[in-house]
Amino acid sequence: MKRLFVAIDISSEARQRALEYTTELAGSFPKLKVRWVSPEKLHLTLKFLRNTKEESAGPLTAALSAIAARQHQFQISLTGTGTFPDNAGSRVLWLGVANIDELQKIASEIEAECLKLGFESEHRNFNPHLTIARIREPRSAGELAAKHLSNNFEAAAFKVRELALYESRLLPSGPIYNKIGVFPLTAS
């Protein structure tokens, strides 16, 4: 069994902007127990597949390849800030995504194909975001969440050129992501 997810990688420029933002924010709250997402792990998750049997990999790869072949490359932007949940007990800090019509279309197609392949349905509405931090002690991080929500993250636009399939392994030191498939958006 492999723990898999489908994602979009962000551009180097967007990755750098996110790093500058998180470095400044983390510097303002050095004593809080927060796991900041390292720049190389930043991605936009389209579908989390959970534990996947080895025999599902072939049909999944074929489905992702077909979906990507039907899609044009398109531009999105990282902009805005948010938390999950949206109240005082925030556990996740994230950056928002603008220009999401194409992203939502692809996520819907991935969801439909995954259902056909026997994967679990996603029970939450698709809410594209870039997770930048996980708060270990939410009760003591109210000021951090408030500062993050009051910040204005300046838009970082980039072109989406491909889908990626990742394997995620959970370790005590944090997750390790291994890219196991790339599916270029090739519609003309």
Task: Say whether 123 is catalytic.
Answer: no
Q: How far is CA 107 from CA 110, 114, 116, 133, 134, in A?
A: 5, 10, 14, 23, 24
- Averaged pLDDT score across all residues of the chain: 94
* Preceding omega of 59 cis (within 30 degrees of 0): no
Q: Bridge-partner residues for 158, per DSSP?
A: 76
Rg over CA atoms, the chain: 17
Confidence class for position 54, pLDDT limits 50, 70, 90 = confident
Q: Could you give the dihedral angle defined by the CA atoms of residues 57, 62, 64 and 66, in that order, rounded to the nearest 10 degrees?
A: 180
Catalytic residue, from 43, 72, 123, 148: name it.
43
pTM, full prediction: 0.93
What is the Cα–Cα distance from 17 to 132, expressed in whole angstroms?
12
What is the Cα–Cα distance from 157 to 155, expressed in whole angstroms?
6
CATH superfamily assigned to domain 2-184: Cyclic phosphodiesterase (3.90.1140.10)
Quick: pLDDT tens for 153-174: 988 999 999 999 999 998 988 8
Task: Say whether 129 is catalytic.
Answer: yes
Contact 165, 183 (CB under 8 A): yes
Q: Which helix (H) or strand (E) holds 102?
A: helix 101-116
Quick: pLDDT tens for 67-120: 999 999 999 999 999 999 876 689 999 999 999 999 999 999 999 999 999 999
State the residue for tokens 């838009």: 155
Sketch the domain layout of the chain as residue ranges: 2-184
Contact 142, 88 (CB under 8 A): yes
69: left (phi over 0), alpha (psi -120 to 50) or beta: alpha
